[in-house]
Structure 1
Amino acid sequence: MSQNRRILTIVAAASAALLLVGCSAGAGGGSTSSSGEMESDGEFTLYSGRSEALVQPLIDMFEEQSGISVNVRYGDTAELGALLLEEGERSPAQAFLSQDAGALGALAEAELFATLPSEITERVPAGFTSTDDSWVGVTGRARVIVYDSEVLTPSQIPASVEALATPEWSGRLAIAPTNASFQSFITAYRVLEGEAAADEWVAAIAANDPQLFENNGAILTAVNDGVVDAGLINHYYWYRLASEIGDAQMRAQLSFPQAGDPGSIVNVTGAGVLKSGAADADALEFIDFLVSRDAQQYFVDETFEYPVIAEVASPEGIPALSSLKNEDLDLADLQSLELTQALLAKHGLI
């Protein structure tokens, strides 16, 4: 099916869904036309929690292909998520692109997303997208242990993050407790293992004198320079640095925790149409574009993240995305960020 025909099919399906919503919910959210059909004025407003340097080339590609203008407000995902919660259905934004599932879950719980048509959401396998079609996963980001290969052998890297809280790793582990991806990992730990277990693990890590950094990139650099033995990061940082300096210069190497371990979660970036843009065909076309072959290949080539559609292959040398799926985790449950931050503050990590 051609791109244009697929868009028309999606818009028609979304229009039908909106008509049903209008009949059943009366004044429920969304700027529908008087007929309840999707409308296009050739532009829409996007709130992007992903950086301009990363996604603007992709937005330029979309604008060129579609003829639609995208008015983008860039910012931190958490800050934009909070702004959308404050603005509610009065938001000037029609769509939101997030760097993690937690913010998407919070907006879905507040019922600020319009339901996406199945023609979009069914392209992404369960476990890497919403369970209620409120938003769709766009890319996957696996949590990994990065280690100094001149100090440690692969067999010395634990299969579970549980072992990193033992005295053996005292002073040897780097973390970024203020970083969104680390906080999402801790949130997943709470969801999967329970509050008491998460509290115990964070307390043990804090007592182990961890080396603290601001972000994943700083941790990778420190490990690659031999400053620290190991750290917790997202997988794609390694591949990005290796593409810049060459694999042969990578003293740092990666180890993927065993599937199902709290340390092996795959968080996703994702996007949705806000109720303020529920009838906006342009915003919906952008969401459709994000899970198209062109956009997914862009993320593989430029950011080394996992694609979430079957037609695009993952970057070489990493485990298959399906092998990392955690059946016990609903990514929408990563929304309880405030409780995670309180837990990290309790143990002096933030």
Structure 2
Amino acid sequence: MVAMQMRQVSAVIAAVFVAWGITLSATAQQQKKLTVYSGREEKIMAPLIEKAQKALNMDIEVRYGDSTSLAIALIEEGKNSPADIFYAQDAGSLGAVAKENLTQKLPNQLLQKVEPQFRSSTGQWVGISGRARVIDYNTKLVKPGELPGSVMQLTDPKWRDKVGWSPTNGSFQSFVSAMRIMEGDRQTLEWLKAMKANGAKTYDGNSAIVEALGRGEIALGLVNNYYLYRFTKDDPNFPVAIHHTQGDAGALINAAGVAVLQTTDQKNDAQKFVAYLLSQEAQQFLTQQFYEYPLVGGIPVSQKQVPLQQLQPPKIDLSQLSDLKGTLGLLQEAGLL
């Protein structure tokens, strides 16, 4: 009975892949190991990879690092890279790799699972989950009426030594890229220098910023929307809340996404992996377990999240965030890297 059920499940998965234009190999049991470069943290990816391996009967190996560093590594490795897939936490890193002609165009059947604003305009990568930039704040230190209307106001002396950020973080760097597009390099550089002069405190990632907020070490933090919920899940009284700005770079809605690399000799398997990430199972996992926004239609958002359609992000083509080199240079000029 169990064997029959497994054959039925395999038949259903095979039918889905065929419908999406992905051919299943007759020698699936003899597939090579799929290598994924992941800018997503291991505590998210490890259980997701385990699910994918079981669903696809595939051996998957993951190399972890921050998205920016992995993008640079892929560019340096070029045609000698062992990677098959790049899974980045932000569109900027994906765009930087695509800009170097290191990615393959994905099948339309996969691209069309996601709205145009969350995929490459040339089909080189596709978003898997959405994340909104927000200002988290300590509710004991800041009243809602005191919150800034824009991130540009954080250079005000009243926020001296009270703001946390993470300049080495890929999502933060994409946010800076968005500011460059909206405000220009000169004004963005001035903002970065003014923030530093105003005592903005540097942390190693978003989680560290939220932890510092909870301790009252800082009053405001520039982070992604979903990190707070990982804290309130264990402590409903955690004294931090989310503030959404409107229309500025601080309201950017970015996408964690994937690209199939030119170096892969497992194009079919790589596309099956992408198809799995766009499946209902994977989308629900990222939404319900990690509070990210699903990008495939028909998947309900976590009840704790403000629905995407209620947010007011800036009108930016995420493919424009690809000038990683320019953003890193600006951060270096500001003395932040």
TM-score between both structures, scaled by the size of structure 1? 0.86
Tell me what 1:32 maps to: none
Q: CA deviation at 1:42?
A: 2.5
Q: Which residue of 1 aligns with 2:309?
A: 322
Residue 287 of structure 1 pairs with residue 274 of structure 2: yes
> Unaligned regions of 5+ residues in structure 1, if any?
16-36
Any idea what the Cα deviations from partners look like across 1:196-246, whole Å, max 9, x if unmatched? Answer: 22122222212212222222112111111112111111111100111122x
The aligned residue for residue 196 of structure 2 is 206
Q: Which residue of 2 aligns with 1:240?
A: 230
> Aligned equivalents of 1:196 and 1:10: distance in 2?
45
Do 1:42 and 1:67's aligned partners in 2 also have CA atoms closer than 8 Å? no
Give 2:21's match in structure 1, choosing from 11, 18, 24. Answer: 11
Would you say the 8 A contact 2:115–2:295 is kept in 1? Answer: yes
For 1:132 and 1:304, the matched residues in 2 are separated by 28
Equivalent positions of 1:122-271 (< 5 A) are: 122-245=112-235, 247=236, 249-258=237-246, 260-271=247-258
Conserved? CA contact 1:39–1:281, under 8 Å? no
1:286 partner SS: helix
> How many aligned residue pairs are there?
325
Q: What is the CA deviation profile of residues 167-196 of structure 1, one whole-angstrom value per residue up to 9, with x for unaligned ones?
A: 222222122222222222111100122112
2:57 paired residue among 67, 76, 79: 67
Distance 2:335 2:65 in 1: 27
Q: Deviations over 1:91-118 (max 9, x none)?
A: 3222221121111101111111111111
| CA distance, structure 2, for counterparts of residue 73 and residue 176 of structure 1 | 22
CA-CA distance at 1:326 after TM superposition: 4.1
Q: How far is 1:315 from its partner?
A: 1.6
Relative to structure 1, is the Cα distance of residues 192 and 39 closer, same or farther in structure 2, using a 3 angstrom cutoff? farther
| Structure 1 CA distance for aligned equivalents of residues 166 and 81 of structure 2 | 32
Say if 2:96 and 2:324, in contact at 8 Å, map to a contact too.
no
Structure 2: segments with no counterpart, 5+ residues: 1-10
Off by >4 Å, runs of 4+ in structure 1? 37-41
Pick from 80, 89, 108: which aligns with 2:98? 108
Assess, with a 3 A threshold, how the Cα gap between structure 1 residues 278 and 265 changes in structure 2: closer, same or farther.
farther
Whole-Å separation in 1 of the counterparts to 2:314 and 2:221: 25
Separation (CA, whole Å) in 2 of partners of 1:282 and 1:267: 26
1-structure distance, mates of 2:266, 2:273: 13
Match of 2:70 among 71, 75, 80: 80
Q: Which residue of 2 aligns with 1:331?
A: 318
One-letter code aligned to 1:282:
D
Q: Aligned pair in 2 of structure 1 residues 189, 293: CA closer, same or farther (>3 Å)?
A: same
Q: What does residue 259 of structure 2 align with?
A: 272
One-letter amino acid of the structure 2 residue matched with residue 118 of structure 1: N
Letter in 2 for 1:255: H
- Aligned counterpart for 1:42 among listed residues 31, 50, 58: 31
Q: Deviations over 1:76-103 (max 9, x none)?
A: 3223222221232333222221121111
Is contact 1:127–1:325 with CA below 8 Å preserved after alignment? Answer: no
Task: Answer yes or no: is the 8 Å Cα contact 1:173–1:228 preserved in 2.
Answer: yes
User: TM-score normalised to the size of structure 2?
Assistant: 0.89
State the shift of 1:58 in Å.
1.2
The alignment partner of 1:250 has SS state of coil
Question: Any idea what SS the aligned residue of 1:277 has?
Answer: coil
CA distance in 2, matches of 1:172, 1:79: 29
CA distance in 2, matches of 1:6, 1:348: 50
Shift of the 152–309 alpha-carbon distance from structure 1 to 2, 3 Å rule, reads: same
In 2, Cα distance between equivalents of 1:208 and 1:95: 40
